[in-house]
Structure 1
Amino acid sequence: MARRRVLTLLYTSIAPIPFATMTNKEWGNIGNNYLKGLFALAFQGFFMMVCVGIYAVLVNAMTISSDLHAAMFSVAAYTVILAFSLFKTGSLSKSIFNAH
């Protein structure tokens, strides 16, 4: 999460430079790529919220019966899947917006 905050701060701190290049014919791609990256970063946050929401629903819907080991294994499996999906949100959002 700290990496995402730093990325957001960096994107907003250098915003005047890419916006200044958007009107130029030769350098307009810099501004367009910046906007694609900014929208991909915002969409990554949305994907993260969706992943954590799905995780919360799966963990809350789990019933703990007499088998505690199976319940702990399923929570651990859900957590591994959550971590994997959170790491993939960046590449997924960049591929949707064609940001590089």
Structure 2
Amino acid sequence: MALRNPLNGNAIHIDRLHTKRGGHTPYGYAYLDGKLLIDPKEQIIVRKILKLHQSGLSGNAIAKELNRQKIPSRTGKSWSPCVVRRIIKINQSNKPNNRRTK
């Protein structure tokens, strides 16, 4: 399963300038020396989330499963359905068949 680049548009331009953009770092990535890089530990969890989503589970069910398996979130708190849905959305938003066109 290929992971999507969480950057698009102006964010790609900012990344090419090697400057950190505002807001939270996407789950599965980390900044190092001003560059957005893949975080291997978090990417394992991202792949698990995407696999569970493809099998038909909702964001709520995935969050419950991650909590049941005691998989830690980035903050060490319980997984919330909102965070899970955001991870799914970020990794699906760059697929060509999901883009809205006129």
For Structure 1 versus Structure 2, the TM-score category normalised by the shorter chain is under 0.3
| Larger helix proportion of the pair | 1
Say which structure, 1 or 2, has more relative contact order (CA 8 Å, 6+ apart): 1
TM-score normalised over the length of structure 1: 0.28
| Larger strand proportion of the pair | 2
TM-score normalised over the length of structure 2: 0.27
